[in-house]
Structure 1
Amino acid sequence: MDDLDRALDGVGERLRALRRERGTTLAELSASTGVSVSTLSRLESGGRRPTLELLLRLARAHGVTLDELVDAPPTGDPRAHMRPVSAYGMTVVPLTRRPGGVRAHKLVIRPEGPREPDPRTHEGHEWLYVLNGRLRLVLGEHDLVLTPGEAAEFDTRVPHWFAPAGDEPVELLSLMGPQGERAHLRVRPRS
């Protein structure tokens, strides 16, 4: 059995676990994905092998990456194992490995976490860029909604909190300087 067969054989169990973790019925998942209840049931039981189209729909509905859904084997440089970490309704994918300095992460935040803002502070400087969805950012006295293509930059000693704005997951990039380092921006070539 190769890596592909192993990954696809485990999809049913992961699909069932994700659905149950979210408290969603097969009927509710069918309504949100357009995939029939019988197909979803057969996928979860292992009676049907998923197609790429089905996997993409289900990954989007569950707010997870396709790699996470199929538990894909690591690819690329074998020295870099940038595995996603999921907790508290959020999946964090590290994009940099070097210690110190500005660190980059991709975040996928599902709308299942706390809905009431609970602003916190810590040392550092952060830059957020929204890829997909809508992000609610409470920053000091400001309550903002950022949409795809919008960014925010702030000192993390200012009380801040963010979560999806609505019932859909939000995907964003985060650059974080833990000691207050800032991203260096250049808007025009040097003369």
Structure 2
Amino acid sequence: MDDQLSRVGPRLRAARLGQGLTLEGLAERAGLSASTLSRLEAGKRQASLELLLPLTRQLGMSLDELVHPSTPDPRVRRPSFRRAGVVVEPLAPEGSSVHVFKMTHLPTREVPRPGVHPGFEWLYVLSGELRLQLGERDMTLGAGEAAEFDTLTPHAVTASGSKPAVILSIFSRDGARFHTHEIGEEPDPDAEPLRSHA
């Protein structure tokens, strides 16, 4: 408990700054002197219920939130799915500004038509060999190789050979929609139209 109380000052300061309140402004609203609040935030004044209750009321938070803040589970637990011969495993939280996926390209005889969409793509081959068709170029990437490219260039990726190719991919929002949305998923009304390159 003493360890938790020693952290109250920095948490109190962070909560105050997060609401755009000055030291003087919060102190006045809570009926304290600015010097008392300053010492409390700096850990030079022992935290007590008498001091903390009016402060938490003004900050709109509970005493428990200040003394025992909850730490959200950082693990990403999203289901994997299969789309067009690719097993897609989301590695970033839903709604994240960064779209990261582990993608396993299963061996196939069918080579997809290159497609284009706004944005960019970065990929890293974890295992196997990956065939990357990019514009006029047709290349094979092995484990440990990476590529980054403008996705307005016609492109397609498949496993090369008889073994799966496992890659780590980072997409822009449009790239994630184009490459990983599940079959049957409702289209995003805000997304720009995606198209195949003939």
State the TM-score, normalized to the length of structure 2: 0.48
Q: Which has the larger radius of gyration?
A: 2
